[in-house]
Structure formats: structure tokens, C-alpha cells
Structure 1
Amino acid sequence: MPSRGARRQDQFRLRVRYRKDGRLAFLGHLEVINTVNRCVRRSGLPFAVGAGFARRMRLQFSQALPVGASSREEFFDLWLTERVGADRALAALAGATPSSLAPSQAGYVAHELPSLEAWLDHSLWRVGFLGPVDEVALARGVQELEGRGEFSYRRGDTLKRVSLQDTLMGWRQCGSGAATTLELSCATGAAAALRPRALVTAALASQGVADVPALRVERLAQWYEQDGRRMFALVPDGGQDHLPPRDRHEK
């Protein structure tokens, strides 16, 4: 239940790691926020509310996923007015949350950390293909786009231009045919974020391939990087089971 009396310095910042998959991968970010909000209320945890006019639950999320993309590692920060044991809080949330948004880890973090959306500036993606794809054309296309240093795509009526020098830190292609997968290590900059689906479409188009098979896009990990050091949102296992390629490309 909410509490309005606690001062901000008396609140506790609980960080929760959760997944997003199955049919709920097609929820938009606002729908995810609303769903988690309802789950927190059902859990019975003593959540804090903000001081604004609307008095909303104090809840922050990591960077939004594209609609249709699944994830093994999403995060939200929930402020509590009481320091409930992390294991107990996790169990309460798990019992109130659909399995396709299941929380898997929870722990308290410092108030002074930046917001998750601003702090987690790197991510690892895996793109799978639900039909046959020319893996040679795919690799050549990604290399060609890297050589250009950027590519453009349309999102609705807006032309988006993405700098690969700023956003694509490494990539690795595995398998062949319908078993082909592409892993992308990406940075999120102020200019633009790299959308894996847009990159694959542009890479194949650069090789004259117009028919792109349906894709399965999954975010495997998120982290903060400074001076070559990776810092994960939760330890010991947050993200470290899926370390990204460090080189610009591996095949």
C-alpha cells in the first residue's frame, strides 16, 4: 500500500530485474509501465508516491524496448517507504506479476545513482530469423554500412539517421540459413539509438535483398561502461552471463 508521509531521504530504492517475452513482448512501453504499476499494487509492498500534483508511484524504468522485441534483462527502480527484505520483496512481486514479465532478481541500490534510462548506456541484442536469409549478404551489408559510418531509415513520416560510429560497438554473426543469428553490441547516444530491425533491413537492402524475413529481436543484457569498464545494474549475475563481443565484428 502507498505511503505519503515518508520523506525522500527515508525511502529505499529497490532495483528489480525482470524479463519480457511471449505475447507481452508486443506491449508498448507505456503499457509495460501501467502493468508493472498494477503488479506492485497487488504485491502489497509499501511503495512511495511522488510529490507532484498527480501523486504517482515512484517508479523508474530502463530504456524502452521496441514493440515486439523480447528481453532477458529489463530493470525498474521502485522506491519503498520501508526496507522490506530483497528476497521477500522479490517473492511478493513474482506472485503478483504475469510470467512473461517475471522478476528474477532484486536488490537495494544507492539513491545517488542516475536514473536507469540515463545510466544504462550499452546493450547487447540478438537478432534471429524466422525464415531463410542470405547470411553472406547480411555480413557484407553490415560491413558496408560500417564503412559508410551511418545509415538512414524511415519511421512513419520521419527520416531517422543513425551514426554507427557512435552506436555500433561490435557485432557477431553465427549460424547459416534459417539458423543465422546476429549479435549487436550497442551504445545509446544523445543523437540516436540503434534499432536492430532497422539495421538488418538496411544491411540487406544495401545488397539488393528486398524481402527480409520476419525477425526475432531480443535484448540480452544492459550495462554502463566507463573507460572500458563494464558496470552492471545488479550484481553478481546481472548481465554477466551474456557478455557482448568487444571487437567491431566477429564472424
Structure 2
Amino acid sequence: MQRIRLRYTKRGRLRFTSHRDFQRAFERALRRSAVPMAYSAGFTPHPKVSYANAAPTGVASEAEYLEIGLAAVRDPEQLRAQLDESLPTGLDVIDAVEVRTPNFVERLEASEWLLRLDGVEPDTAADAVTRFLAAERVEVERRTKNGLRVFDARGAVAALEAVPVQVDAGADTGAGSDRDVRTGRACAILRLVVRHSTPAVRPDDVLSGLRATADLAPPVPAEVTRLAQGPLDEETGTVTDPLALDRAAAPVGSEPTAGPHATASA
């Protein structure tokens, strides 16, 4: 009867939840919120939930997406609030729209990432970025279930730059803006935009490429956060909102037709 697209986050310690862990938590949230789910046909019906391009375990994200099918019409914002309240803090449902356009997965053309490199001087990181971007091809290795695979990490990169470290407003760290406000140590931040390609190029592949081209090796693992995923603006190297088309397609002033239990469940 109705389909809803949701945007959710993985923040803090919950970035270490696997995709399967999130699926279980989300299905429990659906039951606690009494969401009128539509189910698949067959001997073992499953709730109609589809996930799109989930981030790897251990990676934080501000832009994960899924779609649910409902057996009764609900207001998307009320549904979002219900589900957000039923999920643990860190797994936050931050946006919801009614599905009005097809081919959503095809809109997820690229991801924007923020890579935090503790213990790396910003000038060192900027030099490594320059060397990486100057290369026509950067081959990296990744171990897969089918063995060791070698592929190009450079071709999928639409944008890569070193950006200033953000510090708390008014904080007196006794150091410049290239220092971590929490520790005072050197810290570099990279902004990365990667096209979704085959094979998929992940932030850790780009870090391997920086090590190969410029011997950049952070002393501790990088903290990685996905900031956005969606259509790629090739001219600016930015990722835009994949839900924008659904919002634009909604009739002006339209309201969902509430089902018989809409008030009670909201």
C-alpha cells in the first residue's frame, strides 16, 4: 500500500555493529513500534525491507538508507520518530520520505567520506594527497574470500583533499588548528569522494594507495565516517541528496491517507 525510504546513522560505538546486527535491531524496532509491515509471499514470509549499500563494520556513517513496505498508510515523519525512539542511541533514523520515484539504488553513485588520521601532520597528509592524485593508476591489494585481488584505487576517486582540523569553539588547546583538541597531538583530516564502482573502492583502499604512493602510514587506524552517498556532481566533486527526487515528486500540500490505526500507532 505504501513504501517509505529512510535515512539512518551509525554513530559512536555503534559503528562497530555489523549489518546483520543492525538488521536484527531494526526488525525489533519495527515490532516495538507496531509498524504495519507488508510481507513477502511464500511459506516463510519476511517483512518487506530492502537495504542499500551498507557501510562496512567499524565505519561510522551519517548516510545509510533502507526502504520498507507498509500494509497501511502512515505519515513518514511520525513513522521516523517512532522508529528512532525504538532504536538505541547511535542508530538514529534522521529522515523519511514516501517513495514516489523508481531506481533509488542507481542514484547512489558515490560516497563522501571523512578520514581522521591521528598522529599525522597536515602538511604530510596534503603532500601524500598531491602524489596520489598525480598518479594515473594506483594499484592496491585486498584479500577477499576468493584470494588476493589487485585493482586500481585511483580511478574511482572523484575528489580527495586535506581539510582543516575542526576544534571546539573557544577551546584553548595551546596549539594550532592542526592539533586534536582532545589530545593536542598532530592530526590530519582528509575529505574523500569515491564513485561506486566494480570492484568497490573503499576508504581503506585509498589509504593503502596513499601508503604506496607517498609512504603515508598513520601510527593508529584511521577513523572513517561516511558523510553522504547519492548522486555525484562531477563538476564540483560533491554528493547530493538521493531523496530529493521523492520530495520533489510529492504533490504540493499532499497528506498521506491515514489508515484506521494511524492515530493510535503515532
Deviations 1:114-173 (A, max 9, x none): 253x431211100012x31143443333333331323212225422413522x1111121
Cα distance in 2, alignment partners of residues 107 and 38 from structure 1: 21
Give how far 1:230 is off: 6.4
Q: Shift of the alpha carbon at 1:26?
A: 0.7
Query: Which residue of 186, 192, 214 maps to 2:199?
Result: 192
SS in 2 for 1:149: coil
Q: Deviations over 1:77-111 (max 9, x none)?
A: 1111111111221121122111111111211012x
Q: Conserved in 1, the CA contact under 8 Å of 2:153 and 2:206?
A: no
1:97-116 matches, within 5 Å, as: 97-110=87-100, 113-116=102-105
SS in 2 for 1:180: strand
**Aligned match for 1:234, one of 243, 249, 252:** 243
Bigger relative contact order (CA 8 A; separation at least 6): 2
Amino acid at match of 2:108: L
Matched, 1:24 2:14: yes
Residue of structure 2 equivalent to 1:3 = none
Give me the identity figure in percent. Answer: 24
Unaligned runs of 5+ in 1: 1-10, 239-251
Q: Are 2:163 and 1:174 equivalent residues in the alignment?
A: yes
Please state how far the C-alpha of 1:183 moved relative to its aligned partner.
0.4
Shift of 1:42: 1.6
The structure that has the greater radius of gyration is: 2
Q: Name 1:34's counterpart in structure 2.
A: 24
Whether 1:220 aligns to 2:227 is: yes
Q: How many residues align?
A: 222
TM-score scaled by length of structure 1: 0.78
2: CA distance between counterparts of 1:203 and 1:42?
Answer: 46
Q: CA deviation at 1:33?
A: 1.9
Are 1:126 and 2:114 matched, yes or no? Answer: yes
Structure 2: any 5+ residue segments left out of the alignment? Answer: 165-177, 180-185, 248-266
**Counterpart check, 1:148 vs 2:147:** no
Provide the rounded CA distance (Å) in 2 between the counterparts of 1:220 and 1:138: 20
The SS at the match of 1:99 is: coil
Match status 1:139 vs 2:126: yes
CA positional deviation for 1:205 = 3.9
